[in-house]
Each structure stands twice: as structure tokens, then as C-alpha cells.
């Protein structure tokens, strides 16, 4: 079946540190890959996505590259801010439609 595995959190970083949140997937077909973010008191919102191998999604300084050879979609940011503190969810979608398979979420805490 399809599944997404994320590194467990919480991840605690100081402001301006480099961030990597690992995400790997198992899929029966060729998925589209997503990162969603949930800020405190808000719903999940799409951060970035990539629809085919070697695509790079980027938004708000975050990047993730679709690596088919390693079945990964790791989230990176060069310099995190306190305002990036949130829970980050990696997800995949196999077919057309909006049924997403999510990972467990990784909580990021950034300290000043």
C-alpha cells in the first residue's frame, strides 16, 4: 500500500539554523508529493508540492526535491525563524483526486 514516513519530532532549533525534515514514501504508482504546515491554532495549509521526479517545490524559503531513486521528499530551509514553529506534514497522492496519504507530522520549534 501507500505510506509516508517522517522523522519524529519535536525538532528544536535556534533561529537562523538550517532545517531538514526527512520524508520517505512507499507508493504503488507515481505519486505527487506535498508538504503541508499547521501553525498553532490554524488548519493545515499547503506549503509546497512536486508532481514528478526531480521537480523541486519551493515556498517561503522552504524547498523539497522529489527524489524517485531514494523515494524521498525532504523539506529544507536555510535559515529558520521563530515564525516557522509549526507542525509539518508530508503527504502523497497517487491518482487524480484529492485523497492524500499523510505522514505523522513533525513538530518544529524555533527558539530566538
Partner 1 sequence: EPEVTQTPSHQVTQMGQEVILRCVPISNHLYFYWYRQILGQKVEFLVSFYNNEISEKSEIFDDQFSVERPDGSNFTLKIRSTKLEDSAMYFCASAGTGDTGELFFGEGSRLTVL
Which is closer to partner 1, CB of 29 or CB of 112?
A: 29
Question: In angstroms, what is the minimal distance from the CB of 15 to partner 1?
Answer: 26
* 1 binds partner 1, rule: CB under 8 A: no
Cα 103 from Cα 6, distance rounded (Å): 6
DSSP-based three-state secondary structure for 82: helix
19: Cα within 13 Å, side-chain hemisphere = 32
Which is closer to partner 1, CB of 42 or CB of 112?
A: 42
Please give the grid coordinates belonging to residue 103: 505522514
Identify the residue whose cell numbers are 526531480: 54
Which of 58, 72, 76, 102 touches partner 1 (CB under 8 A)?
Answer: 102
Contacting positions for partner 1 (CB under 8 A): 4, 32, 34, 36, 38, 41-46, 49, 89, 91, 93, 96-105
Amino acid at each position: 500500500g501507500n505510506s509516508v514516513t517522517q522523522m519524529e519530532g519535536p525538532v528544536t532549533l535556534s533561529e537562523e539554523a538550517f532545517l531538514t525534515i526527512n520524508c520517505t514514501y512507499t507508493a504503488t504508482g507515481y505519486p505527487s508529493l506535498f508538504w503541508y504546515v499547521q501553525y498553532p491554532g490554524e488548519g493545515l495549509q499547503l506549503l509546497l508540492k512536486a508532481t514528478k521526479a526531480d521537480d523541486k517545490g519551493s515556498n517561503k524559503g522552504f524547498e523539497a526535491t522529489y527524489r524517485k531513486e531514494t523515494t524521498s521528499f525532504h523539506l529544507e530551509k536555510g535559515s529558520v525563524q521563530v515564525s516557522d514553529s509549526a507542525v509539518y506534514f508530508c503527504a502523497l497522492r497517487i491518482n487524480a483526486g484529492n485523497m492524500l496519504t499523510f505522514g505523522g507530522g513533525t513538530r518544529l520549534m524555533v527558539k530566538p
